Amino acid sequence: MPRLARSVENVPHSRIRELAEIAMSMDGVLRLYFGESNLPTPGYIKRAAIRALEDGYTFYTENAGLPTLRRAIAENYRRLHAVELDPAGEIVVTASGVQALNVAIRCALDPGDEALVLTPAWPNGSSSVAMANAVARQVPHPLAGDRYGIDFDALEAAVTPLTRLLLYTSPSNPLGWVATAEEQQRLLDFARRHGLWLLADEVYDRLYYAGARLGDPVPSILRKASRDDAVVVVHSFSKSYCMTGWRVGWLVARRDLAAKATQLNEFIISHAPSFAQKAGETALAEGEDELARMLERLKENRDLCLDALGGARGAARGLTVPRPDGAFYLFPRIEGLEDSFAFCRRLLEETRVGLAPGVAFGAGGEGSVRICYAAERAILEPAMERLVKFLQKNPGAGFH
């Protein structure tokens, strides 16, 4: 009997999915476990897709994506970051952020190579490393006070002769942590010194609450890196434009990696859907007003959740809720919690509130739960109320 390849057997299941599958078999669940809002894609983007279909964007496109979309992405970097990119050689449109991550990792790692991954993190990065027959070495973000940081000593200690890449996510899913300018510089210096690819997941860069003005993006690592640096940025339309189901993203990379990712795209997906690419072009050109409204709402939601959990602090004995500066997640740490999956399962069964267990996010994630606060208030408010009551009923969490 032929068996499945060991490399795919080794790819772990997503524990967010595992919890979600239990939740989906139940009625009336307040769903805060996935990383998306329940807002539909804005009308102006949907209309752009319909126009594109009518205009004949139903055929194959270039493997790197429509030149018009790549030019729009380059223009976006010029406007938001004052970074000049060559749309023909440094930008590749992909069929989602996760595909950008996957193809970038595939281009950078040989079987047996090692990648350093800052965690807790969305599990798809480490899983993509496993799918490339390589090994993810997870290095947890330490929590000092109520801010996460980077343990550079631990990073140094984790480097081996096989290390080829360092992956970090800023703003972070699930932490909401945003790398400071100094942390970015140190990551870049570290990668240069050890001859590593630096892979920056910046899909949440527009969801930032600590800029000079709401709507300012988190400064991209591309502002610090030269175009000859071994730096790759992955990005997506999913989060900023409520386009999770459309499957369009992009990567920016040194020319050699961008060229190889373009070629590999042919064999993986060929390209992102043609009409969805056109809709993405419109999102970049016309999306600022809608984005500003969404950011106002997300910031209010974040504060609502912080207030609700701040109130539970005493009763839940040792609930630490780091204040997130970006993305749309809270990642409260519950002192004494040793089985976040069991916690989320019981919370779900007893209160119909669905959260993602911290254990799903790799090293450093156990002991916390992830709350996605992108939902409407009509969902968030009762969910927070039930969560707080549940924590009060189970002081110290009690899930050992």
Binding site for ligand PLP (CB under 6 A): 35, 96-98, 122, 169, 173, 201, 203, 236, 238, 244, 249
To ligand PLP, the closest distance from the beta carbon of 97 in angstroms equals 3
For residue 214, what is the DSSP state? B
CB-nearer residue toward ligand PLP: 169 or 184:
169
Q: Which of 175, 247, 250 is nearest to 220 (CA)?
A: 250
CB-nearer residue toward ligand PLP: 122 or 209:
122
> 304 by DSSP, 3-state: which?
helix
Q: Which two tokens stand for residue 298?
A: 């997300």
Q: Which alpha helices (H) appear in 269-359, and where do they start and end?
A: 274-286, 288-312, 340-351
Q: Does residue 171 have a cis bond before it (omega within 30 degrees)?
A: yes
To ligand PLP, the closest distance from the beta carbon of 122 in angstroms equals 4
Backbone angles phi, psi at 9, to 5 degrees: -60, -35
Pairing of β 369-372 and β 356-357: antiparallel
Segment (H or E) for 380 = helix 377-393
Backbone angles phi, psi at 312, to 5 degrees: -90, -5
C-alpha to C-alpha distance for 189 and 125, rounded to whole angstroms? 22
CB-nearer residue toward ligand PLP: 238 or 394:
238
CB-nearer residue toward ligand PLP: 34 or 44:
34
CB-nearer residue toward ligand PLP: 277 or 351:
277
To ligand PLP, the closest distance from the beta carbon of 342 in angstroms equals 24
> 216 by DSSP, 3-state: which?
strand
CB-nearer residue toward ligand PLP: 101 or 348:
101
To ligand PLP, the closest distance from the beta carbon of 35 in angstroms equals 4
Burial of 260 (0-12, 13-18, 19+ CB in 10 A): middle
CB-nearer residue toward ligand PLP: 160 or 270:
270
To ligand PLP, the closest distance from the beta carbon of 33 in angstroms equals 12
Residues 92 and 251 sit within 8 Å (Cβ to Cβ): yes
To ligand PLP, the closest distance from the beta carbon of 75 in angstroms equals 20
Q: Which position has the token pair 């140190």?
A: 186
To ligand PLP, the closest distance from the beta carbon of 74 in angstroms equals 19
To ligand PLP, the closest distance from the beta carbon of 26 in angstroms equals 23
Cα dihedral 81/85/88/92 (nearest 10): -50
Measure the N-to-C terminal CA separation of the chain; round to a whole number of Å. Answer: 41
CB-nearer residue toward ligand PLP: 326 or 367:
326
The C-alpha angle with vertex 251 and arms to 250 and 256, in degrees rounded to 5, equals 140
To ligand PLP, the closest distance from the beta carbon of 350 in angstroms equals 27
To ligand PLP, the closest distance from the beta carbon of 236 in angstroms equals 3
CB-nearer residue toward ligand PLP: 199 or 312:
199
C-alpha to C-alpha distance for 63 and 264, rounded to whole angstroms? 9
**Other C-beta atoms lying within 10 Å of the C-beta of residue 82:** 10
Pairing of β 143-144 and β 329-330: unpaired
CB-nearer residue toward ligand PLP: 220 or 236:
236
Q: Closest CB to ligand PLP belongs to which residue?
A: 97
